[in-house]
Structure 1
């Protein structure tokens, strides 16, 4: 039997989702950790997916002009080969690069909601991908702009996005790291990462709505108003996070986030080893 979520829990988790969704520190991992540390329970993968609709709405608002321009260019390009410029190509890159995570998300949905949320796994992944970030920063040439994005880049970053199905990885961290390995500028990698997340996260959130209201065994049960408020909180804080992150990564490396991830991962491992918190 699942426990009912309180208003305080839903608001705090919504704030955590908004703050961590776009930073390369894993929103799903943080929601799992915060809910265990403070509430002694798991907010659930469905609650996480639904509140991500708030942060994806923030992406839609923040990049509204870009998104409208890309969609319009995509339709123009379909009708007229002479109109197939950068925005037309990016539209196709986002569509094609979303296919891998759509397939794997459906195939492994049960594991994502259960064994994938084990805190031993979350803590380990936090540390491992901190190292990945550091390697990407060290060996990336960071010479290619968004205008130089290719289909290969899109497909590689789309494949990397699949890793975000594991709590602790970070969608933006995985895709941006892939972009860095491909030689993209840091800000260009993050911008495409945000655009790439829109279809997958929106579909995941809508698909998870029924389960969020009545979790089947895993996760606390939130009411409709609680989910709505949590999603709105995630939207407001998420919008501010996007603006801050794009400005930050234009001047600073991902190593700052890597250091934070290692500290958090090691802390969780210590708490698990000493029995202070439970892994499941």
Structure 2
């Protein structure tokens, strides 16, 4: 691996680590970067999906105690109490993942090559506008605050699972769509982002497995380059999760909505122009 390849691997990992948790498409923007440095569009899309393994590990490490607790409660799971404590979050992640597969796998198989960056960019910008409007509502009227739920239900799981499935398309933000869906459903900011991060773990592993199966192995890169990108994405992704959650917990949520919405609008516009 020469210096040029090493630099690209480092930058790709860092971009994935940061962008995965923001309401701008990590896949779309990482694909643009990889294409700009000479990677073919097909391999760029496959690489951007494969690198979700790194941020998946970031989320798994960050929420290791929550995951252990949920799995420890699993033996007591019953269909009748699936979305009651202590089973609600595990049931949410399992059902959302199943819906993601139902929506995402056919899209990957039949529509990914035909998906336009224009459509994806417009969708990301729309999510940004909705986030800004949410912030405006929360700032101007306390009675409009959306955060009044403490447990996810099966409707949440089906809705955001489907939204997560759409994120297989270039330009569509996984974290932006899922967090926005949970906000609309009445979850507060920290809860929405936490659930979004948790459901990213099985989805990220599934996306990487699907990509490797489609590509017959590592998608167009050496093992050394892939390892560097994955390690960097894990480290940067962990730091990005921690930073974003600290901001969400300490800053008025209307301000967070303004900031993230603005990022999504700019990111969507850049994808559309590109």
The structural deviation recorded for 1:85 is 5.0
2:190 is aligned to 187
The structural deviation recorded for 1:111 is 4.4
Identify if the C-alpha distance between structure 1 residues 84 and 27 changes in structure 2 by more than 3 Å, giving closer, same or farther. closer
CA distance in 2, matches of 1:37, 1:85: 48
CA distance in 2, matches of 1:223, 1:153: 40
2:77 is aligned to 77
1:121 is aligned to 119
Identify if the C-alpha distance between structure 1 residues 268 and 201 changes in structure 2 by more than 3 Å, giving closer, same or farther. closer
- After TM superposition, the score normalised by the length of structure 2 is 0.83
Cα contact 2:24–2:268 (8 A) shared by 1: no
SS of aligned partner of 1:114: helix
Query: Structure 2: which 5+ runs fail to align?
Result: 138-143
Identify if the C-alpha distance between structure 1 residues 256 and 188 changes in structure 2 by more than 3 Å, giving closer, same or farther. same
Q: C-alpha deviations, 1:173-216, integer Å up to 9, x for none?
A: 1111111111110110111111111111111112222445668x
Given candidates 235, 259, 262, the residue that maps to 1:256 is 259
SS of aligned partner of 1:103: helix
The structural deviation recorded for 1:97 is 1.5
2:161 is aligned to 158
Cα contact 2:167–2:174 (8 A) shared by 1: yes
CA distance in 1, matches of 2:151, 2:272: 41
1:142 is aligned to 146
The structural deviation recorded for 1:234 is 0.5
Q: C-alpha deviations, 1:44-68, integer Å up to 9, x for none?
A: 2221122111110011110000001
CA distance in 2, matches of 1:152, 1:266: 31
Identify if the C-alpha distance between structure 1 residues 134 and 76 changes in structure 2 by more than 3 Å, giving closer, same or farther. same
SS of aligned partner of 2:264: helix
Q: C-alpha deviations, 1:215-259, integer Å up to 9, x for none?
A: 8xxxx7211121111111100000000001111222242221222
2:48 is aligned to 48
Query: Structure 1: which 5+ runs fail to align?
Result: 273-280
1:28 is aligned to 27
Cα contact 1:213–1:224 (8 A) shared by 2: no
Cα contact 1:136–1:177 (8 A) shared by 2: no
1:278 is aligned to none
Q: C-alpha deviations, 1:14-73, integer Å up to 9, x for none?
A: 111011111121211210222234447435222112211111001111000000101111
Cα contact 2:35–2:44 (8 A) shared by 1: no
Counterparts of 1:56-95 in structure 2, within 5 Å, are 56-78=56-78, 85-95=84-94
SS of aligned partner of 1:144: coil
2:141 is aligned to none
CA distance in 2, matches of 1:182, 1:82: 20
CA distance in 2, matches of 1:38, 1:96: 38
Given candidates 204, 208, 219, the residue that maps to 2:207 is 204
SS of aligned partner of 1:253: helix
Q: Which stretch of structure 1 is more off in the superposition, 152-161 or 206-215?
A: 206-215
The structural deviation recorded for 1:110 is 3.4
CA distance in 2, matches of 1:234, 1:266: 25
Number of equivalences: 260
The structural deviation recorded for 1:13 is 1.0
SS of aligned partner of 2:94: helix
Please tell me the root mean square deviation across aligned C-alpha atoms, in Å.
2.7
